[in-house]
């Protein structure tokens, strides 16, 4: 069986964020990067599936589209248990729309005949939730989205999809299939030191996006900016003890919860 997991590297969104000089995306200077959390669940689920298959031949590939910095994330995925990496090198991936990214992945994947492709349900930075199902459409694969429980038995995938209010729908589908992973699907492992060492010997193939063929965009970004802040809330800064006293004064004044 051949399994692919697609992962994106994203900036740490708790950092201070601001637009680049073109006002089209983030100024990436000094931003730390990390694996998109949804994709971390996807990597873990793919590794778990490989482990469950035991002696059955299984090859697990991890793929990412982006500039050279994504190699660091691919190495992490290899240390988590993927067998080999594919880096679709593209310094301008952040300017590409979901259709273009999905098409690049499809151009690579259609020659590989993967049985199951895992990816995050969305990225935390763009949040379009499009790449997984668009990739499935391009490859003609079945697709289950927002998956919070996954199993493969007798050649049939059973997936639970998370719906509003915590309810789930249970769906069945057959490989080849794309599975988009929700947060909480599993508990992603920390790579151990021996596995980090082992991962150094695992191969990472580098392809240029231009070689795969870049489609024309379907979406144009005109501007990237911080939202207008409506919240006129009070902002308090300082050291803990002093702030605690202030907050208690405010609660006494503006709420009834400290009375009686």
Partner 1 sequence: MKALLVFEYRRGKLTEGNSELIDFAAGLCAQCAGVLIGEESALPAFEGKLYLGDIAVCKEYGPELHADIILQAAQKENPDYIIFTHAPYGWDLAPRVAAKLKAAQISEITGLSDGKFEVGCCSGKMRRLVRPATPRAVLTLQEGAFPFTGKAGGTPEVEKLVPTGTGSGPELAGFKEAEKHGLDLSGAEVIVSAGRGVGKKDNIPVIAELAAALKGEMGASRPVVDAGWLEHTRQVGATGQVVSPKLYVACGISGAIQHLSGMRNSEFIVAINKDKEAPISEIADVMVITDLMPFVAALTAQLKKI
Q: Beta 142-153 vs 204-208: how paired, if at all?
A: unpaired
- As a whole number of angstroms, the distance between CA 14 and CA 18 comes to 12
Considering only residues 194-233, where is the footprint of partner 1 by CB under 8 A? 216-227, 229-231, 233
In DSSP terms, which residues pair with 63 in a beta bridge? 6, 86
**Alpha-carbon distance values, 232 to 42, 75, 104, 228, 229 (Å):** 39, 44, 44, 11, 8
Q: Please choose, from the candidates 99, 102, 108, the residue with its C-alpha nearest in 3D space to the C-alpha of residue 2.
A: 108
Q: Please choose, from the candidates 197, 209, 229, the residue with its C-alpha nearest in 3D space to the C-alpha of residue 79.
A: 197
String of contacts with partner 1 for each residue 8-47, x by CB under 8 A? ---x-xx-xx-x------x---------------------
- As a whole number of angstroms, the distance between CA 140 and CA 136 comes to 6
Q: Please choose, from the candidates 3, 152, 150, the residue with its C-alpha nearest in 3D space to the C-alpha of residue 82.
A: 3
- Cβ neighbours of residue 102 under 8 Å, at least 6 residues apart? 130, 131, 134, 135, 138
- As a whole number of angstroms, the distance between CA 84 and CA 234 comes to 51
User: Which residue of 52, 91, 95, 184 would you call a contact of partner 1, by CB under 8 A?
Assistant: 184
Give 30 or 239: the residue with its C-beta nearer to partner 1. Answer: 239
String of contacts with partner 1 for each residue 234-253, x by CB under 8 A? xxxxxxxx-xxx-xx-xx--
Please report how close the Cβ of residue 28 comes to partner 1 at its closest, in angstroms.
12
Stretch that binds partner 1, among 61-69, 112-120, 142-150, 193-201 (CB under 8 A): 142-150
Stretch that binds partner 1, among 82-90, 109-117, 171-179, 204-212 (CB under 8 A): 171-179
String of contacts with partner 1 for each residue 87-116, x by CB under 8 A? ----------xxx-----------------
Please report how close the Cβ of residue 182 comes to partner 1 at its closest, in angstroms.
9
Give 69 or 208: the residue with its C-beta nearer to partner 1. Answer: 69
Give 163 or 205: the residue with its C-beta nearer to partner 1. Answer: 163
User: Which residue of 165, 194, 203, 213 would you call a contact of partner 1, by CB under 8 A?
Assistant: 165
Give 21 or 256: the residue with its C-beta nearer to partner 1. Answer: 256
Cis peptide before 176 (omega within 30 of 0): yes
Considering only residues 143-162, where is the footprint of partner 1 by CB under 8 A? 143-146, 158-162
**Alpha-carbon distance values, 79 to 186, 199, 212 (Å):** 17, 5, 27
User: Which residue of 32, 167, 190, 194 would you call a contact of partner 1, by CB under 8 A?
Assistant: 167
Please report how close the Cβ of residue 73 comes to partner 1 at its closest, in angstroms.
18
- As a whole number of angstroms, the distance between CA 135 and CA 119 comes to 10
Interface with partner 1 includes 126 (CB under 8 A)?
yes
Question: In degrees rounded to 5, what are phi and psi of residue 10?
Answer: -130, 160
């Amino acid at each position: 069986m051949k399994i692919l997991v697609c992962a994106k590297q994203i900036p740490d969104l708790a950092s201070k964020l601001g637009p680049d000089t073109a006002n089209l995306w983030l100024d990436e200077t000094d931003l730390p990067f990390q694996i998109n959390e949804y994709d971390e669940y996807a990597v873990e689920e793919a590794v778990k599936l490989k482990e469950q298959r035991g002696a059955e031949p299984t090859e697990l590939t991890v793929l990412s589209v982006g500039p050279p910095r994504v190699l660091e994330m691919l190495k992490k995925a290899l240390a988590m248990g993927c067998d080999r990496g594919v880096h679709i090198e593209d310094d301008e991936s952040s300017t590409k729309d979901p259709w273009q990214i999905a098409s690049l992945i499809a151009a690579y994947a259609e020659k590989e005949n993967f049985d199951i492709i895992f990816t995050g349900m969305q990225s935390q930075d763009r949040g379009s939730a499009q790449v997984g199902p668009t990739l499935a459409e391009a490859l003609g694969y079945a697709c289950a989205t927002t998956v919070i429980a996954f199993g493969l038995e007798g050649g049939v995938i059973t997936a639970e999809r998370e719906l509003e209010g915590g309810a789930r729908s249970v769906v069945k589908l057959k490989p080849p299939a794309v599975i988009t992973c929700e947060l909480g699907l599993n508990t992603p492992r920390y790579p151990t030191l021996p596995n980090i060492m082992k991962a150094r010997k695992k191969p990472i193939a580098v392809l240029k996006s231009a070689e795969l063929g870049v489609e024309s965009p379907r979406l144009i970004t005109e501007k990237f900016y911080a939202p207008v802040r409506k919240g006129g809330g009070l902002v308090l800064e300082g050291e803990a003890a002093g702030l605690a006293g202030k907050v208690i004064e405010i609660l006494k004044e503006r709420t009834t919860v400290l009375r009686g």
